[in-house]
Amino acid sequence: MKLFAKRLRWGQAVLEYAILLAIVSAAFAAMIFYVRRAVDGKLIRIDERIVARNNQTVDAPTPPGGHY
């Protein structure tokens, strides 16, 4: 009977570690999506600033005589 109880405790410990590993893995997977979205948003804002800056230089009025 002692051997059965020892095996049962060992099996329960393995199961608890497996569940803990699954929860931690799921948390990291969820964090990856949030981090990716944050980085994508930052890159989009940087791109919009660059495009806006380029549009300001292209659309700038030329001075009289056509030279800068």
Going by C-alpha positions, the residue among 39, 57, 59 that lies closest to residue 47 is 39
CA gap 21, 14 in Å, rounded: 11
> Is the whole model's pTM more than 0.85, yes or no?
no
CA of residue 8 relative to chain centroid, distance: 40
Q: Tens digits of per-residue pLDDT, 15-62?
A: 999 999 999 999 999 999 999 999 999 999 999 998 888 877 655 566
